[in-house]
Amino acid sequence: MLFTETQRFRQWWLILLLGAIFAHLLFGAYQQLFNDIPMGDHPVSNTGMIGLVLFICVIFALFFIIKLETRITTNAIFFRFYPFQIKFRKIQKEEIGKLEIVQFRPLQDFGGWGIRMGSNIDWAYTIAGNKGLKVFNNSGKVILIGTQKSDELQNALIEFQK
């Protein structure tokens, strides 16, 4: 194994924002369901409130489950954006035309982090930061895989391209 990296959503501001929304919703749901104090001027039904709380719970949990995993061996690059990709995607060395580590602007280039499409790439897989591995396939497809370990990745690419 030349390189391995696992990234997770751990931005403090994102967790704080989601936590505040979740806490506000839980408090409102408690008030509405147990104290008969409706939440807002146009409250949702109790069934709708329960559904909304469950939906927000799933979204909140996803931010702790989601991870971007990258593995580079001597003959292939593997990556997956779990839980949306259960199996690793594999790019064989023979399929790769060019590799480069790039700096990008997540909001301007792709509209944020996650699994995205961009104007000059086919797919971007990012969790945080603004650096990634740009893979140009021989077929013309371009994939960007985000990294927080660009120096280690650069060293691994030197070995990979031998």
CATH code of residue 3 = 2.30.29.30
What is the rounded average pLDDT of the residues 138-162? 95
Residues above pLDDT 90, as percent of the chain: 73
**Given a cut of 80, is residue 157 above it in pLDDT?**
yes
Handedness of CA 43, 45, 48, 53 (dihedral sign): positive
Whole-number pLDDT of residue 11: 80
pTM, full prediction: 0.85
Whole-number pLDDT of residue 78: 98
Question: 1, 9, 5: which is closest to 128 by C-alpha?
Answer: 9
How many domains are there within the chain?
Answer: 1
Give me the domain span that covers residue 57: 1-162
Specify the 3-state DSSP secondary structure of 145: strand
Q: Which residue has the higher pLDDT, 144 or 107?
A: 144
pLDDT digits (tens, 9 = 90+) for 99-121: 999 999 988 888 888 999 877 78
